[in-house]
Amino acid sequence: MKHYFVSAAIIQVKDEILCFQRGPSKFEYVSEKYEFPGGKIEEGETPEIALVREIKEELNVDIFGLEFFQTVDHQYPDFKITMHAFKCFVSNLEEIQLNEHLNFLQLSVSQLSSLDWAAADVPFVEKLITESHG
């Protein structure tokens, strides 16, 4: 069973969060699901360096102010992931280009549960909601 190590960005815009819809995939359980953008950590990279690189590749923008949020281990039917999420900010919202994603939404934390998230992301969404209750 493959085991991927992944970094994901919880991009904050004021009190809201950017949510991205993945493209189609041969694995239906991640296909067109919402996620926090990012990707696989490559050999020799820290999770933070990988995340800055992936966001530039996927969205064409720089992120800053990375703050570790949570690590989740999730077993999908065909592979396992260990995913590190970081809260961060984006340099210029208007410059986001969707090089890989189908769509993105800027939602308040209380709206996050309305989306169809990849299963591995559900703990992140739950923690964001819990934290927002103060």
Ligand X SMILES: Nc1nc2c([nH]c(=O)n2[C@H]2C[C@H](O)[C@@H](COP(=O)(O)OP(=O)(O)OP(=O)(O)O)O2)c(=O)[nH]1
CA distance 11 to 23: 19
CA distance 21 to 31: 9
Q: Is 63 in the site for ligand X (CB under 6 A)?
A: no
Q: Is 72 in the site for ligand X (CB under 6 A)?
A: no
Strands 79-90 and 2-13: parallel
Q: What x-and-dash track marks residues 18-57 binding ligand X by CB under 6 A?
A: ------------x----xxxxxx-----------------
21's enclosing H/E stretch is strand 16-21
Q: Is 59 in the site for ligand X (CB under 6 A)?
A: no
**Window of 2-10, 11-19, 62-70, 106-114 that interacts with ligand X by CB under 6 A:** 2-10
CA distance 40 to 45: 10
Q: Which of residues 96-115 bind ligand X (CB under 6 A)?
A: none
Using CB under 6 A, list all residues that contact ligand X: 4, 6, 8, 30, 35-40, 81, 83, 118, 120-121
